Structure 1
Amino acid sequence: MSQRLHAFGDDALGDRDAVGLVAALHAGEVCVPEVVEAAIARAERVQPTLNGIAFEGYDRAREEARDPRPGFFAGVPTWVKDNVDVAGWPTLAGTDAWTPVPARRDGDFARMHLATGLLPLGKSRLSEFGFLPSAEHPRLGPVRSPWDTSRTAGASSAGSSAMVAAGVVPIAHANDGGGSIRIPASVNGLVGLKPTRDRFAQDASFRQMPLRIVSDGVVTRSVRDTAAWVREAEKVYRALHLPPIGDLTRPGRGRLRIGVNTTGLGHGADAETSELTHAVARRLEELGHRVEEIEVPVPDSFAEDFLLYWSFLALVLVRTGRRVHGRSWDPTHLDDVTRGLARSSARGLPRLPRAIRRLRRTTAMARELYASYDVTLTPTLAHETPHLGHLDPTLGHDVVMERVLDWVTFTPWQNATGDPALSLPLASTSGGVPLGMHFGAAAGREATLIELAYELEEAFPFARIQDPA
């Protein structure tokens, strides 16, 4: 029997999304200090079980609530994922392998994100360095899904997603290097948009990657919250090489060419997930879209190439740890998967340049695909959310990575191509937990995805955790 845990109640937050909370603040129905106090009380209620908080900045939040920074979201509480810098707060990156020190200044992403007016309560948990799609650190403990506390909240943006799904805040920062916005959005019944590569500001650690696979964004409970964040972030940071997304408030009128696929990167979806995906495809046809089965042009080498590059990132972090973090750096505190990835990369370094070249060529492959289709549809994940322990890093690198590849088989493609992708909470499994549906589009075409998301949300309202099971 699954056990849900949420903090929705009759306080200043109610069950409002972020846009609704902005309206309530402007109407004088609530004030910023009481909204912040309500969010803190909710966080304290669920944290002992969900374990999604890496750092509590409540004193600063209360002080800022008395004079919130300007912006559309002024006074709306949020969490910042703990792999970007926020001035005065430590950055732990999901590990305890060094003694953290407060960041001297906001990183580039936090500067943009908080310029929208969002008011941070602290920093949210992730898996160690974001490598695993489940946050189950051997000493820091697992992050649990509020939809079923016996299951993982996904990763790496696990903490942010758990806090949004449980009603602590309506919107929170997430970022995505292999699915880490979309995976926890799927697990926790949220809207999760991975923007186009370089769409928004990023911290230097992500910008300097040989292949920039990470995109920053947010997880929310409504399409309009995601659309509003994109609009406001674009006012602060405009990517001139991409078409603007603009102010999107309703479904698009055009009927789309949609290609559906459930085979993924060689592993494929299980029977239930495949059927749920095709059920969504039939809904799209009922709405007048043209839907057909397709083969996604994924080369046979893709999974191995992506995993080799992923492992290389672990190797860099392990070998530079002492230089970056000083004498407190303790590599024995790294989990078994981080160390295993680093060892695997060291053995595969001669193959890395060719792997990166092949990964870069996927951008052209995707461009060719989207010449024929406006949108692609797959499940976000290949099977139902696993219970805690299934991806426990103490099981060892080989066991865990094989299980990861069985589950995370659809999301990494857009990290390599740089294209946008969106997970929507359109399905539920026989186990009673959310299962996201995954929509992709060509580079710069976030507007197409958001307009389609509005249409689907309106036609097929998303399940809410506070409603009866």
Structure 2
Amino acid sequence: MDQTTGAAPVHTFRDDALGEYDATGTAEAIAAGKVSSHEVVEAAIARAESVRAVLDPIAYEGFDRALRESHAPHSGVFAGVPTILKDNVDAAGQPTGQGSVAFTPHPAARDSAFVTQFRSTGAISLGKSRLPEFGFNATTEYMVDPPVRNPWNTEHSPGASSGGSAALVAAGVVPFAHANDGGGSIRIPAAACGLVGLKPTRGRLVADQMDRTMPIRIVAQGVVTRSVRDTARFFAEAEKAYRNPKLPPVRLVSGPASTRLRVGVVTDSVTGLPTDDETRAAVAATADLLDGLGHHVEDAALPVGKEFEHDFSLYWALLAFAITKSGRKLGADFDPARTDTLTRGLDAMYRKNYTKTPQVLYRLARTRQRYADMFARYDVVLSPVVANTTPRLGHLSPAQDFEQLFSRLVAHVSFTPLNNAAGGPGISLPLHQDSRGLPLAAHFSAAHGDERTLLELAFELEQAVGWRRIQDAAVAR
């Protein structure tokens, strides 16, 4: 129970067809005939309905379609396993709302390229999970509508932008869920909700249409899970549908490696703002754990400086400007005046600074090589996911003044964007907890194309310390 508010965690784990299985366990139970896909989809829907009013994580309910699909699920490593898609990718027959009230979404004509790859795993989507407007924020909150709440403490943020997906997985509604990451949006909600979140190398998975239009492709698709093996199996299965020939294959990772790694440790970000004490202590504890496991650990320096904060911020603003200018492609009734404070503020920021665009794009493009140079010395780099422990709802709300909100975001989201600009992989692992009982994660980066090392290390750490389970400290719904 939270020591400051008394808010107890909530979960939906119960004695039903889903039980406490992860996605791998659910698929194995279906394949063995212990349960049917229809039974586990029904159980997931019942769980979703039991937390709808508490966590509010679902943007669109595609329950009827999921039940129909459950009678004859597609083959794949997760055949018949319930999941959910984030509401910024197209699924045939379902609206894509992008977390915004600035337009009226209409049902998509077809699955997007990535959704086709995602469905190749055999999983069955219950619909769409909520995200903040256009995925720009680090919390899943809105100007007027109720927020998505963190299952570990409903007074706190679930992170973002994949906050709805993370809340559903952490609460036990689905074993794994789609997420994507343009500045930390897989890794931040995974950290806030006690999950595994791997942002892959740029180009590892199929890029969606909007991702391909960006001058620097910062967005990567992926999943949030409760176990390393689920993440590993997802990437191995997705690779069967599409493998980028420019990257080494990940293949199935099934456990830790015997190789001892060279680990660089970064505790402070390029912003010049302090990492809070609990987060610093978590990084130090992780470094000690790695040292005890026989890895070589030493302090490291980031390959970029203060200018990176400025450049990524302006690129973030450029994306808001682009959406505002082309919003009618999302819906004929798109009204930029109905976007939230963050979108409008970023748009205004870009309009004031647009002449700097060529230099910003040039410098951001150069981060790929600077990032790669760092891994000539290290196999992985350890850092915080974010600079502060998970905030209360309201701290990053778009209902506040833009200048205050933006300064808070810069102070919080100060580590993950480097991987997006440089295109390198990064993983969030729920190794610790803070003084309030909320998950507190560690972040690991690796060289381009080296997701395999991150997964092998994740298996080793999962076996060494395990993850704290929400059902051991929570009230069932």
TM-score, structure 2 as length reference:
0.97
Q: Secondary structure at the match of 1:216?
A: strand
Kept after mapping to 2: 8 A contact 1:264/1:410: yes
Q: Distance in 1 between matches of 2:241 and 2:401?
A: 43
How far apart, in 1, do the equivalents of 2:320 and 2:235 lie?
30
RMSD value over aligned CA atoms? 0.9
How far the C-alpha of 1:323 sits from its partner, in A, is 4.5
CA distance in 2, matches of 1:329, 1:221: 37
1:173 corresponding residue in structure 2: 178
2:304 counterpart (295, 298, 305): 298
Kept in 2: contact 1:134–1:154 (CA 8 A): yes
Report the more deviating stretch, 145-154 or 314-323.
314-323
Alignment of 1:339-418 (within 5 A): 339-418=344-423
Q: 1:316 aligns with which of 319, 322, 328?
A: 322
8 Å Cα contact 2:38-2:70 kept in structure 1: yes
What is the aligned counterpart of 1:110 among 105, 115, 118?
115
Q: Does the 8 A contact of 1:262 with 1:268 survive in 2?
A: no
Asked whether the equivalents of residues 381 and 435 of structure 1 are also in contact (C-alpha less than 8 Å), the reply is no
Q: Which amino acid aligns with 1:180?
A: S
Q: How far off is 1:324 after superposition?
A: 4.1
Q: Which amino acid aligns with 1:97?
A: A
After superposition, give the CA deviation of every residue in 1:375-417 in whole Å (9 maximum; x if it has no partner): 0000111111110110110102111010011111110000010
From 135, 150, 154, give the equivalent of 2:155. Answer: 150
Q: Which residue does the alignment assign to 2:77?
A: 72
1:412-433 CA deviation, whole Å, 9 max, x = no partner? 0000100000000001001110
- Structure 1 residue 20 corresponds to structure 2 residue 25: yes
CA contact (8 A) 1:138 1:394 kept: yes
SS in 2 for 1:137: coil
Separation of aligned partners in 1, 2:460 and 2:418: 25
SS in structure 2 of the partner of residue 389 of structure 1: coil
1:185 to 187, 190, 201: 190
The 8 Å contact of residues 77 and 121 in structure 1, kept in 2 or not, is answered as yes
Secondary structure of the residue that 1:325 maps to in structure 2?
Answer: coil
1:296 Cα offset (Å): 1.1
- Secondary structure at the residue paired with 1:151? coil
Q: CA deviation at 1:312?
A: 0.5
* Contact kept in structure 2, 1:127 and 1:136, CA below 8 Å: yes
Amino acid in the other structure paired with 2:453: T
Shift of 1:467: 0.7
Larger mean CA deviation between 240-249 and 316-325 belongs to: 316-325
Q: Is the 8 A contact 2:105 2:330 kept in 1?
A: no
Aligned with 1:244 (options 243, 249, 252): 249
* Residue in 1 that maps onto 2:3: none
Cα distance per residue 1:32-77 (max 9 Å; x no partner):
1110000000000111111110000000011111111121211000
Aligned to 1:214: 219
Q: Tell me what 2:440 maps to.
A: 435
2:63 is matched by which residue type in structure 1?
Y
The count of aligned residue pairs is 468
CA–CA separation in structure 1 for the residues paired with 2:376 and 2:257: 19
Q: What residue is the counterpart of 1:285 in the other structure?
A: 291
Give the secondary structure class of the aligned counterpart of 1:172.
Answer: strand
Q: Give the Cα separation in 2 of the matches to 1:313 and 1:468.
A: 40
Q: Gaps (5+ residues) in structure 2?
A: 1-5
Kindly indicate whether residue 236 of structure 2 is the aligned counterpart of residue 225 of structure 1: no
Task: Give the secondary structure class of the aligned counterpart of 1:212.
Answer: coil
CA distance, structure 2, for counterparts of residue 61 and residue 19 of structure 1: 19
> What is the distance in 2 between the residues matched to 1:271 and 1:177?
27
> How far apart, in 2, do the equivalents of 1:75 and 1:216 lie?
21
Distance in 2 (CA, whole Å) between partners of 1:382 and 1:344 is 24
Query: Which of 443, 459, 463 is the equivalent residue of 1:454?
Result: 459
Structure 2 counterpart of 1:447, one-letter code: R
Gaps of 5+ in 1: none
Answer yes or no: is 1:51 the counterpart of 2:56: yes
SS at 1:360 equivalent? helix
Tell me, what secondary structure is at the counterpart of 2:139?
coil
Question: Which amino acid in structure 2 is aligned with residue 257 of structure 1?
Answer: R
Deviation string 1:207-230 (CA, Å, 9 cap, x unpaired) is 110000000000000000000000
Q: Which SS does the other structure have where 2:331 is aligned? A: helix
Separation in structure 1 between the aligned mates of residue 425 and residue 73 of structure 2, nearest angstrom? 32
Instruction: Give yes or no for the alignment of 1:332 onto 2:337.
Output: yes
Matches within 5 A, 1:119-158: 119-158=124-163
Residues 164-222 of structure 1, C-alpha deviation per residue, up to 9 Å, x if partnerless? Answer: 00000011000000000000000000000000001001211101100000000000000
Shift of residue 332 of structure 1?
A: 2.3
Q: 1:146 and 1:202 mapped to 2: Cα distance?
A: 30
Say whether residues 1:202 and 2:198 are aligned partners.
Answer: no
Contact 2:23–2:175 (CA under 8 A) maintained in structure 1: yes
Matched, 1:159 2:164: yes
- Could you say what secondary structure the match of 1:357 adopts? helix
Query: In 2, Cα distance between the equivalents of 1:211 and 1:141?
Result: 33
Distance 1:265 1:218 in 2: 28
Residue 275 of structure 1: how far off its partner (Å)? 1.1
Structure 2 CA distance for aligned equivalents of residues 331 and 349 of structure 1: 19
**Structure of greater relative contact order (alpha carbons < 8 Å, 6+ residues apart):** 2
Deviates more, 1:226-235 or 1:263-272: 263-272
CA contact (8 A) 1:268 1:409 kept: no
SS where residue 291 of structure 1 aligns?
strand
The code of the aligned residue for 1:274 comes to R
Q: Look up the match of 2:279.
A: 273
Structure 2 equivalent of residue 444 of structure 1: 449
Amino acid at match of 1:278: A
